[in-house]
Every structure is written in structure tokens, then in C-alpha cells.
Structure 1
């Protein structure tokens, strides 16, 4: 029996699963961030080691398991230089004698990729289809049967991230201030922001956003205010949500046009916090996309990204 490790490394946490060749998850472990560009190589290595150790301990194994393959799907890994850095991390992992595993890795059994691919494979259960990941940021990534891939977006909060929680929150604050000025129609977002942030006047947004130095994640966390307002029927909030849907449909359509035929039967998996809103953004997106591409099915993830990493690792043992 073959055993593999699937690792999902992001900016907030690292997840590792220990899987056998029957696709059974024997153990799952979590640790801190493994985005080496943000925390450095040494801290990334520590997080990955901890996640592997925790997965091994969760498996309740009495003797070390031989690992035949590993897949690391890490945020921000896409360039050749990134892949070389992660290869170095894998070499260091194999020299760690304290882990409850033994290594039997060949070069062809080490898969290093970005986190969009493992989200696609885990979400759908196979490496063909499209993932539309929309949380703090946004990215659309697809892979066809020939192995061709296409990425749209993922350019960060300044250069891109259309449809993301951050962009939704920024658009809503902008709309609230325009409404307060009298430049746009009245919106409940003015009072909603005042109440949520404890402001006496909407003008105090200046102090919150600029003087407190709010970062991307804090601003993105305001997106549920827009979602609630839209679900309650606020016209302005619904326009913002509709604009986000249009951007995400356009990005997904671009991927379909690039690597799939228009009449392809394929699945589009939606991941990220934005899709869980009350305003039916998921339904709006699905309806709009299916109207353009009738053979497309829009789904929620079947498995987590780390599971997708495990499947990609197993694939290398079966070739």
C-alpha cells in the first residue's frame, strides 16, 4: 500500500493529510502559516513539519509510515524560483528524523504547485474543471483534460481581486460616502457602517481606514455588512453584489474560452467566504454563468484543498 502526504499551505494556516492509495485519510494536522514570502523559509519549514507531525499523530500509527509521494500546494508559488525554494524545503523535511514517517521519495513523486490547483482538485475530486476562489482576494483557475491551465486574476488588492470581499467592502464604503454627500441615492449602508464600527458620523470612516492603518483583511471583513444590506433589499448594496458577480462571471468565462470548448460539460467549484453570504451571490453567479454556458455545473467543494494535494501526490505513484 502507498502512503502520501497532501499539504495545503496558506497565509493563515497549513493543513496536512496523510492518505493511502484507497483515497482514505488516515490523519489530518494543522499548523501556522507557510507562505514563505511572508514569514520566511525557516518559519515555513517549521509550519510544514508541525502539520506533518500533527497528521501523523492523529493517524494513531504505532510505527513510522513510508511516504511514497508528497504534494505541496502553497500560496504564491508559481514561478520557477519559488519551486526551487520549496524543493529545498522538501530536502530538509526528509532529513528530519523526529517525524513519525520514513521517506521513499523519488523526484517524480514530489509535486509543487500553487494553492489554486489543489483547491480545484480537492473541490471537484479530479484535476479537470475550474475553481473560482473568492475570499479576501479572488482568482479563477482552470485545467482541462490535456493538462492545459489558465489563470485569471489573483493580482492582489491594488491591481485586481475583482469580486473579492475587499473590493466589495471598498465599493460599499465609497457608495456610503457618495450617498452622504448627496452624489448617489440613499442607502442603508451609511447607518450600517456607523453601527458596526461605532461611529458617530459616517465621516469618521476617515479616521478608521486611514489613521488606524487598517489592512486588507480588516477591510475585507466588512463585506458581510454589504451582504446583509443586499439581502435586506438595499438597492445600492445589490448593485455592488451584481457588479461583483459580473466580474466573476467574466473571469470564469475567460478561462472557459481559453482552454475549454463552449459546449464542454464541466464543473466549476466555488471556494471562499464570499460565497456563503445571505444575498444569494452564489445563486446569482451560477444562474448568470449557466445562462452563457448551459453545460456548466456550479458546485461547492466536495473535499478540502489538502485532499486535492493528496490526490495529486497519489497520481504520481500510479504512472
Structure 2
């Protein structure tokens, strides 16, 4: 029996799953964030160690467990330099005498990749297809049967992130202020933002956004105001949602055109909180994709990203 570890290291938490060669999850553990670009390599190592320990301890299995392969899908890991850093981290894991693990890793059994790939593999259940992630930020990533990949977006809130919660919130506030100025038609977004933020006037958005030092996540959390207004039939809010959908459709179409044929049978998995919008965001996107690519199938994730990492690790033991 082979045992592998799949690790999903993101900006909000770290998840580790312990899997056997029957693709069964024997243990699952969570820990603090592990985006080393933002918290540093030492803190990242601590989070991953904790997640591994929690996963192994949760498993009904004799310790120490022999691990034959590992996959780390980490946010912020894309360049060759990043991979070298994480290789050092894996070596540190193997030198940790407190983890209840007997390591049996070979270089070919260590997979280091970005979190988009494990979201794709986990979401679909295999390493072929497209993942469209739309949460605080956004990115579209695809991989075909030949192993060719294509990424669109993922440039961050200043340079990109079209279709994300952040961009929906910013565009919604911009639309509300245009309406207040008289540059656009009337919209319920003005009252929506006022009530949610307890503002006397929509002009007080200046104080909220500029003077309170709000970050990306705090601003992105305002996206539901736009969503609810759109779901209630507000024309301006619906235009914001439509534009966000169009951007994600365009990004997805770009990936399909780059590595798939137009008549390919493929699955597109949608991940992130934006897809749960009440304004039929998912339905609008799916309808547009199927119209352009009739053999496309837009789905919600079948499994979590950490499970996808486990599948990628397991794949190395079967070559």
C-alpha cells in the first residue's frame, strides 16, 4: 500500500490530506496560511508541518506512516526560483524528527506546483480541463491531454483580477458614484452601500476606502451588495455583473483556443465565492461557454484542491 500527502497552501489556510493508492482520504488536517511570498518561508514551513501532523494524527493508521510521494500546490509558486525554495522546504520536512512519518521520497515523487493546478485536478478529478477561479482575485488555468498548459489572468488587483469579487465591488462603487454625480442612471447601489456601511451619504465612501486603509479582502467583501442589487433587478448592478461574466468568458475562451480544439469535449470547473452569487452569475457564465463551445461542461468542484494535490502525488507512484 502506497501512502501520499497532498497539500493545498493558500493565503487563508493550509490543508493536507493523507491518501492511499485507492484514492481514499485517510486523514485530513488544517493549519495557518502558507503563501510564502507574503508570510515568509519559515512561517510557511511551520504551517505545512502542522497540517501534515494533523492529517496523520487524524488517520486510523499505525504511526509512523511511510510516505512515498508528496505534492505541494502553493499560492505564489510559479517561477523556477520559487520551486527551488520549496524543494528546500521539502528537505526540511524530511529532517523534522517530530513528524510521525517515515519518508521514502525520491526526486520523481515530489511534485511542486501552483494552487491553480491542484484546484483543476481536485475540481474535475483528473489533470485535464480548465479551472476558472473567481474569489477575491481571479485566474483561469487549463491543461490538455498532452500536458500543455495555459494561464490567463492572475495578475492581482491592480493589474488584473477581472471577474473577481474585488473588481465587482470596485466597479459597483464606481457605478454608484457615477449615478450620484448624474453621469449614469439611478441605481439602488447607492442605498445599498449606504446601509451596509452605515453611511449618512454615499460621499462617505471616501472616508471608508481611502482613510480607513481598507485592504483587498475588505473591499472584495462588498461584492454581495452589487450581487443582491442585480438579483433584485437593478439595471446598473446587472451591467456590472454582466461585465464580470464577460471577462471570465473571454479569459476561458482564450485558454480553450490556446490548448484545446473548438469541438473538444472538456470540463470547466468553477471555484471561488463569486460563483455562488444570487444574480445567476454561474448560470450566465455557463450559458455563454456552452454557446461558444457546445461540448463544454461547466461544473462545480467534485473534490477540494488538497485532494487534487493528493492525486498528483499518487500519479508519480504509478509511472
For residues 134-193 of structure 1, what are the alpha-carbon distances to aligned partners after superposition, in whole Å with 9 as ceiling and x for unaligned?
000000000000000000000000000000000000000000001111110000000000
Equivalence for 1:99 = 99
Equivalence for 1:190 = 190
Equivalence for 1:12 = 12
Equivalence for 2:309 = 309
Equivalence for 1:45 = 45
Equivalence for 2:84 = 84
In structure 2, how many angstroms separate the alpha carbons of the residues matched to 1:165 and 1:211? 21
In structure 2, how many angstroms separate the alpha carbons of the residues matched to 1:50 and 1:3? 18
Runs of at least 5 residues in structure 2 that lack an aligned partner in the other structure: none
Equivalence for 2:133 = 133
Equivalence for 1:71 = 71
Equivalence for 1:250 = 250
Q: CA deviation at 1:60?
A: 3.1
Runs of at least 5 residues in structure 1 that lack an aligned partner in the other structure: none
Tell me the TM-score normalised to structure 1 length.
0.99
Equivalence for 2:200 = 200
Trace 1:122-271 onto structure 2 (pairs within 5 A): 122-271=122-271
Q: CA deviation at 1:43?
A: 0.4
In structure 2, how many angstroms separate the alpha carbons of the residues matched to 1:78 and 1:169? 28
Secondary structure at the aligned position of 1:151 is classed as: strand
Q: CA deviation at 1:71?
A: 0.1
Trace 1:25-36 onto structure 2 (pairs within 5 A): 25-36=25-36
For residues 76-118 of structure 1, what are the alpha-carbon distances to aligned partners after superposition, in whole Å with 9 as ceiling and x for unaligned?
1010000000000000000011111110000000000000000
In structure 2, how many angstroms separate the alpha carbons of the residues matched to 1:17 and 1:312? 12
In structure 1, how many angstroms separate the alpha carbons of the residues matched to 2:136 and 2:213? 17
For residues 42-81 of structure 1, what are the alpha-carbon distances to aligned partners after superposition, in whole Å with 9 as ceiling and x for unaligned?
0000000000000011113332110000000000101000
Tell me the TM-score normalised to structure 2 length.
0.99
Secondary structure at the aligned position of 1:113 is classed as: strand
For residues 17-63 of structure 1, what are the alpha-carbon distances to aligned partners after superposition, in whole Å with 9 as ceiling and x for unaligned?
00000000000000001011101110000000000000011113332
